[in-house]
């Protein structure tokens, strides 16, 4: 009898927007427009960086990787969410849920370590300007990105394995709009304290270690900037770091609220709202923060558009 009961859950039902049943068509239109805008701006960023040689620098290399990461990140969650907003039956298979959680964690964790790599890049650019191009060569940049992806892959694999090796045979109603860790864990029939501790520790390390690395980088950056003789030089140095700091604050603020709260403070409604911010709004703002307000990028974009328009002639 126990074996029969343990094979009941074959799919999960999303209830993330069930309380907004009358607004789901409006939400579909709003989220679709935001998603298309995000895809479009990230495509512009990546193509401009690839096509304009003036942007073939470590900073813009990391920015193009960040844009690729965010495009994939939204693709894992948003299309399924959009379909579910119009569907009567909002379900996902057990395997589909596993793949979605792994992909989401892999890209999210890699994103955290990538932001740390970008902080290191800013440190090298400001504190070692004369040796910057040598110290941050192509191999070093690729190595940092590979390390970020390797860390993300490892953490995602461990957490996903721990979550989906638990028995699910009580309920399949997921109070969320995608397969996040806490909502799925709530549906497990029972889970050991060991698995909970390991998952919490991994989430903590993924947030704390990159944040500490960024903190150390900026302590050195600030101490170097304060030694600049001119006020204009200090302003330009701080301006190159401002976009990164804004992105770091948004990313780690949202992630810490969701993944580092005590379990007693867990609220499905709050988490769904915060999840909308970091799955839709943050990828929307990052291109604007990083590129569309950057004068150097704007000039490169104009050059690429000028060459593209003149080609047919």
- Strand pairing class (11-14; 173-174): parallel
Give the residue, 240 or 50, on which the prediction is more confident. Answer: 50
Give me 66's structure tokens.
Answer: 């960040």
Residue 249's pLDDT is 84
What is the dihedral angle through the alpha carbons of 181, 184, 189, 190, rounded to the nearest 10 degrees? 0
173 DSSP β-pair partners: 13
91 DSSP β-pair partners: 13
Helix (H, G, I), strand (E, B) or coil at 10: coil
The strands making up 91-93's β-sheet, listed across from edge to edge, are 91-93, 11-14, 173-174
Taking only the tens place, the pLDDT of each residue in 155-213 is 999 999 999 988 887 778 888 889 988 888 888 877 677 888 898 899 889 989 999 99
Give the residue, 218 or 295, on which the prediction is more confident. Answer: 218
Sign of CA dihedral 178, 183, 185, 189: negative
Where does the pLDDT of residue 2 fall: very low under 50, low under 70, confident under 90, or very high at 90 and above? very low
Distance, in Å, from the CA atom of 118 to the CA atom of 278, rounded to the nearest integer, reads 19
Taking only the tens place, the pLDDT of each residue in 231-270 is 877 887 787 788 888 888 888 887 777 777 665 555 556 6
Residue 276's pLDDT is 81
Helix (H, G, I), strand (E, B) or coil at 92: strand
């Amino acid at each position: 009898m126990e074996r029969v009961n343990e094979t009941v859950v074959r799919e999960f039902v999303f209830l993330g927007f069930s309380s907004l049943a009358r607004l789901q068509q409006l939400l579909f239109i709003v989220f679709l427009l935001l998603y298309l805008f995000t895809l479009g701006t990230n495509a512009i960023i990546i193509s401009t960086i690839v096509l304009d040689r003036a942007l073939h620098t470590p900073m813009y290399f990391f920015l193009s990787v960040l844009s690729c990461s965010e495009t994939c990140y939204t693709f894992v969650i948003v299309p399924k969410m959009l379909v579910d907003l119009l569907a009567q039956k909002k379900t996902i298979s057990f395997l589909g849920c596993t793949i979605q959680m792994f992909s989401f964690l892999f890209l999210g964790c890699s994103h955290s370590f990538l932001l740390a790599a970008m902080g290191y890049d800013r440190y090298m650019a400001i504190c070692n300007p004369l040796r910057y191009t040598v110290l941050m060569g192509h191999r070093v940049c690729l190595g940092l990105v590979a390390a970020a992806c390797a860390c993300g892959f490892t953490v995602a694999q461990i957490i996903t394995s721990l979550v989906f090796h638990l028995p699910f045979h009580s309920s399949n109603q997921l109070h969320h709009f995608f397969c996040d860790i806490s909502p799925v864990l709530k549906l497990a029939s029972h889970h050991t304290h060991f698995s909970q501790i390991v998952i919490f520790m991994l989430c903590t390390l993924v947030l704390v270690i990159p944040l500490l690395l960024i903190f150390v980088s900026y302590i050195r950056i600030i101490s170097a900037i304060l030694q600049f003789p001119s006020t204009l030089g200090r302003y330009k140095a701080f301006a190159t770091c401002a976009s990164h700091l804004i992105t770091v604050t948004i990313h780690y603020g949202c992630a810490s609220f969701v993944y580092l709260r005590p379990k007693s403070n867990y609220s499905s409604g709050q988490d769904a709202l915060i999840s909308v911010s970091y799955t839709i709004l943050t990828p929307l703002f990052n291109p604007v923060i990083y590129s569309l307000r950057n004068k150097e990028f704007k000039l490169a974009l104009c050059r690429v558009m000028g060459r593209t328009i003149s080609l047919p002639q």
